[in-house]
Structure 1
Amino acid sequence: MDWTQYVDGYCERLSPAYWAEPINAITNAAFLIAAFVMWQRARGRGAPLAMALVVILAMIGIGSYLFHTHAQVWAAILDVTPILLYILVYIYAVNRDVWRLSNRYALGLTALFFPYVALTIPLFQLVPGLGGSAAYAPVPLLILIYAVLLRRKAPDTACGLTIGATVLITSITFRSLDTPICGYLPTGTHFMWHILNAVMLGWMIEVYLRAIRNPPAGAAVAAGSGH
């Protein structure tokens, strides 16, 4: 693999120059702002997984900035790896602290994310206009599945997850439109993917914090029985 191979995948980029995507690069500050806000809200709450998500959220902003400036394979890996890590940590956190599963079952259910995306990405690739965004489309679907399953056990959490999924669907829409409307909007729309994702990821941490502050009915009983 050529780690320094040039990657040009966005409307705004017209050359390999460092600042060829100024808007796409600068809007990654939204992730750092969201991480700072959520760090303020999560610290001192006895929620180590929330703090881990905050750190990963900041890493997403840094990785994306590096990709939209260097535009090389190594930077692309630094861009997507924290996103995957955030998803896995969040699924585990919900499995353990909202569903009140044991660590073993929470980890096992989290691992099912990989066959889930392997099955669903090819289906989303059949959707006209999604393009490369098909790789992200299984995520809001999974969030909505969790929301439906939690609607009785933890209705407030289910509502919060639904809001997060809606924001992410909007974000994916902007990401998908970047190339098709490039001829009409030279800046593209990828920068909205950054801004909306920063809002959504910060919100998802807030949803988790509220869920563990107000555990669903019966959670204390479940915890006392060995979960």
Structure 2
Amino acid sequence: MNWFEQVDLYCERTDFTYWSEPLNATTNLAFIIAAIIFWRRSAGLPMARALSGILFVIGVGSFLFHTHATNWAMMADVLPIGIFILTYLFVVNRDMVPMGGWLAVFATALFIPYAAIVVPVLNRIPFIAISNFYWTVPILLVLYAAFLRKRPGIAQGFLFGAGLLSLSIVIRSLDQILCDVFPIGTHFMWHVLNGIMLGWMIHVYIRHMLATGAAGR
């Protein structure tokens, strides 16, 4: 792979100048603002602080991608997202299910074969295939909500997050489809909704940890 090769994936970009995606670049503030808010609210909760830090990095990485538009910047965009997913899944397994530490690690690692099975299935559905990997997350949130249905605070929090993320993914998938009628694209709304959604998921975790008196984990 040529790490410095430039890529054009979104409606808003019309050339490879630095500010060719002004909305896609600046709306990454949604991630950074949410990260700052929940960093302040997560004192005494190390894993909530870790999630807030990763959320901040998501904002920075996405900004780099929507300005530099290169393969290396794309990796700076997607890797923090993957790290956030796995980290959040770990704290769900460890603190909300809950499981022992090593069992939580093993259950978290199962996300990889889960995604490997689900993504090819999603690829068979035309519109869903556009954002195939991202759909694995709301599906998993719904499954966890069903498993944790006797804990309504967690289950409802997960279902709300799944619904918000599903809306966000639909908007992301419409970007290239609507280029001709909406030249600025829809990707910037994906950033705003995801900043809200990821902040919400951190809130659900913080709320649970404070309610169970599990500060310090």
How far off its partner does 1:133 sit? 0.8
The DSSP-based 3-state class of the residue aligned with 2:126 is coil
Q: Does 2:165 match 1:168?
A: yes
Question: Could you say which residue in structure 2 is the equivalent of 1:69?
Answer: 67
Separation in 1, partners of 2:94, 2:132: 28
Separation in 1, partners of 2:100, 2:15: 50
Separation in 2, partners of 1:119, 1:110: 15
- Per-residue CA deviation, residues 69-94 of structure 1 (Å, 9 max, x unaligned), is 00000000000000000000000001
Separation in 2, partners of 1:121, 1:90: 20
The DSSP-based 3-state class of the residue aligned with 1:130 is helix
Q: TM-score, normalised by structure 1?
A: 0.92
How large is the Cα RMSD of the aligned pairs? 1.3
How far off its partner does 1:131 sit? 3.9
Separation in 2, partners of 1:205, 1:41: 10
Q: Which amino acid aligns with 1:108?
A: F
Structure 1, unmatched stretches of 5+, are 220-227
- Per-residue CA deviation, residues 99-118 of structure 1 (Å, 9 max, x unaligned), is 12111100000000000000
Separation in 2, partners of 1:200, 1:215: 23
Separation in 1, partners of 2:98, 2:211: 13
Q: Which amino acid aligns with 1:5?
A: E
Question: Could you say which residue in structure 2 is the equivalent of 1:88?
Answer: 86
Question: Could you say which residue in structure 1 is the equivalent of 2:202?
Answer: 205
Structure 1 residues 182 and 137: CA distance shift in structure 2, 3 A: same
Separation in 2, partners of 1:64, 1:34: 15
Q: Are 1:98 and 1:215, in contact at CA under 8 Å, matched by a contact in 2?
A: no
- Per-residue CA deviation, residues 43-100 of structure 1 (Å, 9 max, x unaligned), is 2xx2110000000000000000000000000000000000000000000001111112
- Per-residue CA deviation, residues 139-161 of structure 1 (Å, 9 max, x unaligned), is 11001111110011x21111001
How far off its partner does 1:197 sit? 0.3
Question: Could you say which residue in structure 2 is the equivalent of 1:15?
Answer: 15
The DSSP-based 3-state class of the residue aligned with 1:136 is helix
Q: Does 2:189 match 1:192?
A: yes
Question: Could you say which residue in structure 1 is the equivalent of 2:31?
Answer: 31
Runs of 4+ in 1 over 2 A off after TM superposition: none
Separation in 1, partners of 2:147, 2:49: 26
How far off its partner does 1:3 sit? 0.3
Q: Does 2:115 match 1:124?
A: no
Question: Could you say which residue in structure 1 is the equivalent of 2:5?
Answer: 5
Q: Which amino acid aligns with 1:10?
A: Y
Q: Which amino acid aligns with 2:193?
A: L
Q: Which amino acid aligns with 1:191?
A: F
How far off its partner does 1:37 sit? 1.0
Separation in 2, partners of 1:131, 1:141: 14
How far off its partner does 1:168 sit? 0.2
Q: TM-score, normalised by structure 2?
A: 0.96
